[in-house]
Structure formats: C-alpha cells, structure tokens
Chains A and B, each alone.
Chain A
Amino acid sequence: MPSREEIFEKVRETLVDALGVDDDEVTPEATLIGDLGAESIDFLDIVFRLEKNFDIKIPRGELFPENIASADSGFVVGGKVTDAGIAELRTKMPHANLDKFATDPKVEKISDLFTVDMMCKFLAAKLGV
C-alpha cells in the first residue's frame, strides 16, 4: 500500500504527463484548471492515467463530478451555489475543501475545488490509506 507521499509523487507524475506542466508547478494547493491549465478533455486523460498508474478503477464522475452546478440543476441562484447545492457538493466531493468555498460560493469558483490535494485525498481513500 503506498504512503501518502508516494500517492502525491504519482499524482504529480500523472499531471506532468497529462498536462505538460513542470514538476514544481504541481503543489498540493494547485488548482487543476486555474493553476495547471487543465481543460475538459484533460480530466478524462487524467482519470485514464490514474487508473493505470494506481491499478484501480475510477467510475465516471466519481473523482470529477459532472454537471453539479449546471443551470438546470436547481442549485444555483443569482450566480451563487445554494446551501442545498453546497450540501450536494459535500456529498459528491467529500475530499474537496468546501469550507472555504462556502464562504463565497460563486458558481465560477467551483473549478477551484479541483485541486491536487483533493485528488490525493480521493486516491488515499480509494486505496484505503
């Protein structure tokens, strides 16, 4: 079973390969979209690579939930995610730092929830570390 450091190193390797970023750009706090420049198709690539590198299966939407705050989800009012929406995010993304997001739940800030640290925590839980 890998240690948390080993998980981080493998995640870093995965992101360097998938996004063409430098090693030192991949920090636990780095956001995938804002800091590392990931685009939608990269999320599929990242999941493929994680499955291979960690020898696990990640069902679609488990690591990167889809359509959580789309216009018809009912969870967005006036450009902000509602309390019910935040509760939904907590359920779907238990490894993301929702507390900070909840203080200013602008819908466009949802992408900041996808961090390297969130991925590492997800994998640690998945691997039972």
Chain B
Amino acid sequence: MRWFWIDRFIEFHSGKSAKAVKNVSLAEEHLHDHYPGFPVMPGSLMIEGMAQTGGILLGESHGFKHVVILAKVPKMIFHSWAQPGDQLIYSCELLDAREEGGTVSARATCGDRLVAEGEIMFAHVDKSQAGPAGANQKNFVFELGLLDVLQVGKAGDGT
C-alpha cells in the first residue's frame, strides 16, 4: 500500500485553500479489521488525508523549499463516520504560513454531512535538524510521489 490518503485535488488556491477527494473503498485492507462487519475509515487516516491536503497547501506556498512535517493536531472533532463507497472531501484553509511552519483549518465532508473538523499544525524541518541520516522525504507530508496528486482537476477526460 502506498501512503496516499488523498486521491486527487479538486481545488487549489495557492496560499489560501485546497480541496482534495478521498474515495473510501472496500479494497482497502485495513477496513476489514476496522471493524469486521462494520468497515469505517479510521479517524487517524482521515487526519492523515487532511494533513496531506493542508501540508501540500502550506508547502506550495513556500515553493516546496521546506520539508513539512505534521507537528500537532490541536483540535479535531469527529461528527460522523465514512464507509466504503463514501466520497470524502477534505477542505483546508491556510490560517498561518511562516518560516517555522504553519497551521490549517481542516474539514472532512461526505456530501452535505460533516464528518470531521479541526486544526492541523505543521513544522518545517531543515536538513540540519533531521538527524544524521538527513531529511528523509518518506517521513514527511509530501513524499515525492504524492506531489503527483497536485495535478488539480485532471480527470480521465482531461477536465
């Protein structure tokens, strides 16, 4: 499994806001354990999806010159859940973008239903702070391949 918790961006306003889609599928292995007979998308993975949406929004605002890591989730409230077949829309707004990091507000919705809402804070880590092995992009919000999902609105029909 690849660590992609968003499928595609559907809106991207540089330095302001972004929306991404996550289609929940019964093909995802973990849903068979979480929970047997009642598959629901784990909240932690929704947070990861929102962090990927918001982290790319923040990273792009600085031209991807920093390594962005999820630092803290100061607030997250889950109002309902998501099951296979549901399409989650993660909407993030950039509240704060600075040299040391930034904060986004995040919401997950399924149609008109609010699934989760909260705030996510990111920190920038420089190579010097990343330990002797250096900054390993795999640990961070945008693993190399994840940037491919930044192809906003490129559906199969090119729209």
Report which A residues bind B (CB closer than 8 A): 17-18, 20, 41-42, 44-45, 48, 52, 60
Contacts and interface: CB of A to CB of B under 8 A. Distances in A.
Contacts of B148: none
B96 A45 contact: no
A41 B123 contact: yes
B121 interface: yes
A48 B72 contact: no
Contacts of A48: 96, 98, 100-101, 103, 121
Looking at A18, A44, A52, the one whose CB has the most chain B CB atoms below 10 A away is: A44
A56 B96 CA distance: 14
A45 B100 contact: no
Given A41-B121, A60-B100, 19 more contacts: A17-B74, A17-B75, A20-B74, A20-B75, A41-B71, A41-B72, A41-B123, A42-B72, A44-B71, A44-B100, A44-B101, A44-B123, A45-B71, A45-B103, A45-B121, A48-B96, A48-B98, A48-B100, A52-B96
A45 B121 CA distance: 8
B74 A18 contact: yes
**In the A-B complex, the 9 residue pairs with the closest CB atoms:** A41-B71, A41-B72, A45-B121, A48-B96, A45-B72, A44-B100, A44-B123, A18-B74, A44-B101
Interface string B85-108: 000000000001010110100000
Contacts, number: 28
A22 B49 CA distance: 29
**Chain B interface bracket (under 10, 10 to 19, 20 to 34, 35 or more):** 10 to 19
Contacts of B74: 17-18, 20, 45
Contacts of A45: 71-72, 74, 103, 121
Nearest to A52: B96
Contacts of B96: 48, 52
Nearest to B102: A48
Contacts of B100: 44, 48, 60
A59 B74 CA distance: 22
Looking at A17, A20, A41, A52, the one whose CB has the most chain B CB atoms below 10 A away is: A41
A52 B96 CA distance: 9
B50 to A, nearest CB: 17
Nearest to A39: B72
12 contacts: A20-B74, A41-B121, A42-B72, A44-B71, A44-B100, A44-B123, A45-B74, A45-B121, A48-B96, A48-B98, A48-B121, A60-B100
